[in-house]
Amino acid sequence: MKTYAYFPGCSLEKMAHSYHLSALETTRALGVELKELEDWNCCGATAYFHVDELLAFTLCARNIAMAEKEHLDLVAPCSGCYKNMYFTREHLTHDADLAEHINDALAEDNLQFKGTSSIRHLIEVFVRDVGLEAIKAKVTNPLKGLRVAPYYGCQILRPRKHAGENVEQPRFFEELIAACGATPVDYLLRLSCCGGALIITNRQAALSMVRNLLECAVRAKAAVIVTACPLCQVNLECYQKQVNREFGTELNVPVMYFTQLVGLALGIAPKRLGIGSELVAVMPAIKEAQQNELSVTAR
Amino acid sequence: MNETTSTTGARSSSAETGVTFVQEINNLLYASHGNPINTCIQCGTCSAACPVASGGFMDNSPRRLIALIRAGFKEQVLKANTFWYCSSCYQCTVRCPRGIDIAELMYGLKRYTVWRTEYQQGLIGPTFSETFVKMILRTGRSYEPVLATSYLFTYGLPEIIQEAQTATALMLKGRLPLLPARIKRLENFRRMIRHIIPLGEPE
């Protein structure tokens, strides 16, 4: 069983608790252990980097150093946390002066950054470390006929300068959905921004970005949208009513976490995956797809 | 160009050191990322890729902002909403044919204006960021209800009602925290931060 240091991030404590629950349930079922970092602090979201970069690096480095102390790779389920810690590690690894300065501060908490742990997004653990074949082999409840729009968002992919991977035309999310037996839906805005923190700092801009995204996925006949980030989930799901109010639309599309989708395919009970805490219910879409599938196969 | 452009703010370095605004911004980027903007060819890929600029929400597109920086229009640059409306999606960074990290430039400009408190009036971004940072320095963790205080006062009544409805729906689903979380080794944490920024006297 492979073990990772798990950094849930502030959102997963409450707002995205269902992501936390489903992450733990599905990884356990796939033979992966997520060991929560003992005294993790906030990654800083985008706000620290707006105010002081050195402070932002220090706060991320504290979490990385705690994972290193345990000799484990660090896993973040939130794309924002992932991006912050991934790039903090990059900068500290390539800038010895910066690392020395920050290590001087970390010594106050008896920690040191060495660069020995790698940083992973939770979805990477699924598609790369566990692997699609291993997931497929454990699927007991293939989600046949369910049309799923993969929503990558931004920070799983961008910005990557050195990794040499396909950040413009990735397919791993579609492949993961297909591994669950569901049908990945192709739509134009799968890599576009959900508005992120603009939902607070520029509400009009963010709501219009959310609207474009949702309409694009709905036009492609998606029954659900699947995300890998708590902020994307909140923007796309919880602000649907406000979008409808502002633009006179009638959007009502469920937005779930990829771990919930995988969990259902693995035969885990919806409740254990935190399903039921969304504002736009997920289960009706799942059941409808299953019934359609039954009637198709019966014919 | 710099002689004719007025420098805003008493702490502007150009008066004392002879450093031009474009040099200042370049140094800002060089310092952390080795990312000069001098190679910009004004192709506009950044503006086309930007979901906020292409939605018509920015007063100056990223392309135009870079041109203004290079031409030394300091005041216009600092008062632009461009960088505060950047959602950090990095689409510009990924697509720039000259390899300029434009999103990182936006971060640099946010910090530049926060340090000098020279940003456009009426923006929520700077207050929100500062509230967020102060909150983390107190507890080590984020707590949404504290953040609401930084933006709700700028909203009109219809927006406040909509926000309240969303918050109520989330509360009913158990998705809003009632009490702020805090890390355990808070004393060490605060001593650690004192190495980086002044926090005032220990409490």
Domain ranges of chain B: 15-116, 125-194
- List the pLDDT tens digit at each of the 203 positions of chain B: 333 334 443 334 455 667 888 888 877 766 556 667 888 999 999 999 999 999 999 999 999 999 999 999 999 999 999 999 999 999 999 999 998 999 989 999 999 998 888 888 889 999 888 888 888 888 999 887 778 777 888 888 889 999 999 999 999 999 998 888 899 999 999 999 998 887 655 54
A40: chain B residues, CB-CB within 8 Å: 183
Residue A200 sits in the same domain as residue A83: no
CA distance A171 to A184: 10
- Distance (Å) from the alpha carbon of B6 to chain A's nearest alpha carbon: 25
- B88 and A46 within 8 Å at the Cβ level: the answer is yes
B154: chain A residues, CB-CB within 8 Å: none
- B133 and A13 within 8 Å at the Cβ level: the answer is no
Which of the listed residues A121, A152, A181 is the one where a domain comes to its end? Answer: A121
Q: What is the CATH number of the domain that holds A175?
A: 3.40.50.11810
Residue A157 sits in the same domain as residue A11: no
Residue A230 sits in the same domain as residue A293: yes
B124: chain A residues, CB-CB within 8 Å: 200-202
Q: Chain B interface, mutation test: which of A17, A42, A64, A166, most B Cβ atoms within 10 Å?
A: A42
- A167 and B94 within 8 Å at the Cβ level: the answer is yes
C-alpha neighbours within 13 Å on the C-beta side of residue B5: 21
- A45 and B142 within 8 Å at the Cβ level: the answer is yes
Alpha helices, DSSP H, located in A146-252? 172-179, 198-201, 203-219, 230-233, 240-247
ipTM: 0.92
CA distance A281 to A284: 7
Q: What is the mean pLDDT of residues A224-230?
A: 98
Which of the listed residues A86, A121, A156 is the one where a domain comes to its end? Answer: A121
Residue A133 counted as domain residue = no
B93: chain A residues, CB-CB within 8 Å: 158-159
* pLDDT reported for residue A1: 79
* Counts of helices then strands in chain A (DSSP H, E): 14, 8
A52: chain B residues, CB-CB within 8 Å: 111, 133, 196-197
- A47 and B84 within 8 Å at the Cβ level: the answer is no
* pLDDT reported for residue A269: 98
Which of the listed residues A95, A121, A147 is the one where a domain comes to its end? Answer: A121
A278: chain B residues, CB-CB within 8 Å: 173
Convert the pLDDT of each residue in A33-57 to its tens digit: 999 999 999 998 877 777 888 899 9
* pLDDT reported for residue A162: 61
Q: What is the CATH number of the domain that holds A105?
A: 1.20.1050.140
List residues bridging with A226 in a β-sheet.
A150, A256
A277: chain B residues, CB-CB within 8 Å: 173-175
Q: What is the mean pLDDT of residues A231-260?
A: 97
Q: Is the pLDDT of residue A64 over 90?
A: yes
What confidence category does residue A298 fall into, taking pLDDT thresholds of 50, 70 and 90? confident
The answer to whether A70 touches A35, Cβ cutoff 8 Å, is yes
CATH of domain B15-116: 1.10.1060.10
Residue A191 counted as domain residue = yes
Conformational region of residue A12, where left means phi above 0, alpha means psi within -120 to 50, and beta covers everything else: alpha
Residue A127 counted as domain residue = no
A281: chain B residues, CB-CB within 8 Å: none
Convert the pLDDT of each residue in A96-127 to its tens digit: 999 999 999 999 999 999 999 999 999 999 99
How many residue pairs bridge chain A and chain B with CB atoms within 8 Å of each other? 189
Residue A103 sits in the same domain as residue A149: no
Residue A151 sits in the same domain as residue A87: no
Cβ burial of A156 (10 Å; 0-12, 13-18, 19+) is buried
Q: Chain A interface, mutation test: which of B142, B143, B166, most A Cβ atoms within 10 Å?
A: B142
B55: chain A residues, CB-CB within 8 Å: 205, 208-209
Q: Is A36 on the interface with B (CB under 8 A)?
A: no
- A200 and B151 within 8 Å at the Cβ level: the answer is yes
Residue A287 sits in the same domain as residue A233: yes
Contacts (Cβ under 8 Å, ≥6 apart) of A266: A26, A29, A30, A138, A139, A140, A141
Select from B129, B155, B193 the Cβ nearest to the Cβ of A47. B129
Residue A185 sits in the same domain as residue A249: yes
What confidence category does residue A170 fall into, taking pLDDT thresholds of 50, 70 and 90? very high
* pLDDT reported for residue B134: 87
Residue A134 counted as domain residue = no
Q: Is A216 on the interface with B (CB under 8 A)?
A: no
CA B133 to chain centre: 12
Quick one: tokens of A252?
């009502």
* pLDDT reported for residue A256: 98
* Closest B-chain CA to A84: B88
C-alpha neighbours within 13 Å on the C-beta side of residue A266: 23
At residue A34, the 3 state secondary structure works out as strand
Convert the pLDDT of each residue in A91-104 to its tens digit: 999 999 999 999 99
Find residues 104-163 of chain A whose CB sits inside 8 Å of chain B: 104-106, 108-110, 154-155, 158-161
Contacts (Cβ under 8 Å, ≥6 apart) of B83: B65, B105, B106, B107, B109, B110, B113
Q: What is the mean pLDDT of residues A164-180?
A: 92
Cβ burial of B178 (10 Å; 0-12, 13-18, 19+) is exposed
Select from B87, B111, B183 the Cβ nearest to the Cβ of A51. B111
- Distance (Å) from the alpha carbon of B187 to chain A's nearest alpha carbon: 9
* pLDDT reported for residue A273: 98
CA distance A160 to A163: 6
